Structure formats: C-alpha cells, structure tokens
Amino acid sequence: MKAIKTLGLCAVIFTFIAILNFSCKKEVTHDPSAVEEATTTNESKPDDPGFAENDMVLYWNDKASLVLGRPMPQPRRARLFAITQIAVHDALNAIKPKFQRYAFKDIREQFANPDATVASAAYWVIKGLNIQGTFPIDNWYNESLSLIPDGESKELGKVLGKQSADAIIANRANDGLTQEISSSPLPPDGDDPGEYRSTLPYSNPVLNLPHTKLHINWGVVVRPFVITSNDQFRPAGPFALNTEAYLQDYNEVKSKGAMVGHTRTPDESALLLFWSEIRPSLIWNSLARNI
C-alpha cells in the first residue's frame, strides 16, 4: 500500500514541477557549467524567455486525467501520469535549464515556444503509448496549437515536445511492467494467526468472490522512478504475534476501525475516507491543478 501511494505521489511531484517552476516570469540565474549549448543557430529572439504559462500545463494535465480516468489498476495509472508529466518537465528544461532532467538530457532548444512544447510533449506520450481510447486527442492537440502564432518557434516546440515524449517512453519501455502480475489467487489465504487473508471486497462472503491478490509482485519487478531500488525504504515486517507491540497495534486497529463503537475522532474518520480513495493519482493531480 505504501508503495502504491509513493508511486501516486511521484506523479504529483512532476505535476507540481511543471506547474510551479515554469509559470513565473522571473528571470533566474544559472550555473553556466550546467547549461548545455543551444542546438540552434537562429539569431532571432525566442517568442518567450523559456517559461510556460500555467494554462497549457494545466490543460494537458486535465486531459491526461480524462484519458486515465477510465478503470485501470491504480499503480499503472500513477505510472502513466508520471510519464506524461516527466515529458512536460524535461521538455521545458530543454528550453531553459532550471532543474535536472530525467530522460531527455542531450538537447537544448532555447528558441522553442514553451506552450507548443508542453502540448506536444503531453500529446505524444498519450499517442505514443496508445492510451487515448476514444478521446479526441488529435482535436485537443490541434486546438492547443491553434492558439500559438505560426512560425519557427512553434515548429521547434512541436519537435522538442515529441523528442521529450519519445525519450521518457523509451526510458520506461523495459521497466518491468510486462512482468507485473495484476491479480492472482496466490499466495493462498492463511488460517493461522498472523497469516495473510484476502481483504475486502474479496473477503465479503455475500459477494462470494475468488480470494484474489492484486499486484502481488509490483514492488519486486517494476523499476521505481526516483529511488535506487524497490526495497530502499521498505519498512521491517510486523511485530511478532507474542509481543506487546503486536497486541497494542491489534487493539488500536480494532478500536479505531470498528464500524460500531469505534474510538475515531471526526478528523480520523475524514482521513479514513480520504486514504481509502481507490484512485489517488486522479485525486492528487486534481488537487495540484486547483492549487
């Protein structure tokens, strides 16, 4: 569960990077050694000093939310959100380097139009991964580009965005997703104290569903985005059944989690409902856009 929440927050982190760090019109000084040489010899000035307004970033994050809002296993949705926002982040940093890039590192194009770049990066991730379903992403893309004056800067942005999208798609192409097991009856439910048993809804006797385990090997085979390994921050296992610490945890869960006669405060009940949301990446991206 912690791994899933961490992956969901990863998508939010890249959303905030794109929204907050490229919306300000304030010039920022840079370490000259960290700035790559521009790949263009164009003598004209860029349409924009290298920052994108919030509108285009927010527009395409919202469109990604629509595309990814259809039913799908949560870790996969968060992964796709992260890929989309990394493409936007890397592409904007290729115009004006401010932060370390993730996958798209070798090209600098200071004269690219930032809005065209954002639209192209997000569009080509969705298009490149073929996750658009029946959504009119071509219409969204054309409408986005129609707001930008024609010219070389716009064309450079379109190319730059696609290059960034291609880079992150290639980076995650062999990240272990194809080895991930979405659902399995294994390991079997245990009978003894301390052994795992299926949780709701699979444990509901009224529904009589197979006792399925979801994403049983996600934290083993899928390469993380930022941390060095899946077990870098993994906590220790539960306390032994015969310890006082286990007894305290057990009684706390029983008391706080009871439907009738619980000891939760109103705030704890609100937190319970918030963290039980089964689509956290959609919720967190919505929160990021509102902020």
* Count of domains for the chain: 1
The per-residue pLDDT for 33 is: 36
For every residue of 117-170, which 3-state class applies, written as one string?
HHHHHHHHHHHHHCCCCCCCHHHHHHHHHHCCCCCHHHHHHHHHHHHHHHHHHH
Distance of CA 263 to the CA centre of its chain: 35
Quick one: which of 181, 175, 154 has its CA closest to 48? 154
The per-residue pLDDT for 72 is: 86
Amino acid present at 17: I
Res. 273 pLDDT band, cuts 50 70 90: confident
The per-residue pLDDT for 178 is: 94
Does residue 203 belong to any structural domain of this protein? no
Does residue 266 belong to any structural domain of this protein? no
Distance of CA 134 to the CA centre of its chain: 22
Dihedral sign of CA atoms 46, 52, 57, 59 in order? negative
Does residue 50 belong to any structural domain of this protein? yes
- Determine if the peptide bond prior to 210 is cis (ω within 30°): no
pLDDT averaged over the chain? 84
Res. 29 pLDDT band, cuts 50 70 90: very low
Q: Which two tokens stand for residue 204?
A: 């509901």
Q: Across 17-26, 99-108, 186-195, which has the greatest mean pLDDT? A: 99-108
Dihedral sign of CA atoms 101, 58, 42, 164 in order? positive
Under DSSP, the state recorded for 214 is E
Q: Which two tokens stand for residue 8?
A: 């969901």
Rounded distance, CA 180 to CA 34, Å?
38
pTM summary value: 0.79
The per-residue pLDDT for 114 is: 93
The per-residue pLDDT for 36 is: 41
CA dihedral 232, 237, 243, 249 (to 10 degrees): 90
Amino acid present at 228: T
- Assess contact for 38 and 109: CB atoms under 8 A: yes
pLDDT tens-digit readout, 51-96: 556 799 999 999 999 999 988 888 999 999 999 999 999 999 999 9
Does residue 229 belong to any structural domain of this protein? no
In the predicted structure, residue 11 carries a pLDDT above the cut 50: no
- Assess contact for 288 and 61: CB atoms under 8 A: yes
Does residue 205 belong to any structural domain of this protein? no
Res. 10 pLDDT band, cuts 50 70 90: very low
Does residue 59 belong to any structural domain of this protein? yes
Find the length of the chain: 291
Res. 45 pLDDT band, cuts 50 70 90: low
Q: What is the mean pLDDT of residues 121-132?
A: 97
Helix, strand, coil distribution of the chain in percent, nearest 5: 50, 0, 50
Does residue 148 belong to any structural domain of this protein? yes
What distances in angstroms separate CA 24 from CA 18, 54, 100, one per listed residue?
Answer: 11, 9, 18
- Assess contact for 176 and 223: CB atoms under 8 A: yes
The per-residue pLDDT for 275 is: 85
The per-residue pLDDT for 27 is: 36
Place of tokens 């990394």: 86
In the predicted structure, residue 245 carries a pLDDT above the cut 80: yes
pLDDT tens-digit readout, 186-219: 889 998 988 888 888 888 989 999 998 889 999 9
In the predicted structure, residue 101 carries a pLDDT above the cut 80: yes
Does residue 144 belong to any structural domain of this protein? yes
For 123, the domain range is 2-177+283-290
